[in-house]
Amino acid sequence: MKLTLVSVLASLAISSFAQAATLNCHIDINNDPLLQTQVESKTKQKVKIGDVDTVTAYITEKVDGIYTLEAFIANAEMRVYSEGMLKSSNDRLSTSVWSRDILLDIECSLANH
């Protein structure tokens, strides 16, 4: 009985950390909003935000509430990363690239529930 109770409590604790988070994300290129989407994130899983022109964006929840935002810019053969904490719908995680060829802004926030 004790072993079963411990197993149930352990599985509940593990599943509570693997809860999906709904994120609102957008990609702007040269100040034009080209993609606005919602994605579901789970801890330690890379989730594709989307593709716009030569840009592919991903978000990964590394641990509870700490995210990595990644953008791959194919024509520049470049990857850009930012990392931050999203705990409330007021928090934002963004990354930007400015060059002669592109002005890229990607931002994600927790969706309101």
28-49, pLDDT tens digit by residue?
999 999 999 999 998 999 999 9
d(C-alpha 113, C-alpha 111), whole Å: 6
Average pLDDT over residues 48-69: 96
Global model pTM greater than 0.85: no
d(C-alpha 80, C-alpha 97), whole Å: 8
Listed in sequence order, the residues at least 6 apart from 71 whose beta carbon sits closer than 8 Å to its beta carbon are 55, 56, 57, 58, 79, 80, 81, 95, 97, 104, 106
d(C-alpha 46, C-alpha 33), whole Å: 23
Kindly tell me the sign of the dihedral angle through the C-alpha atoms of 62, 94, 52, 102: negative
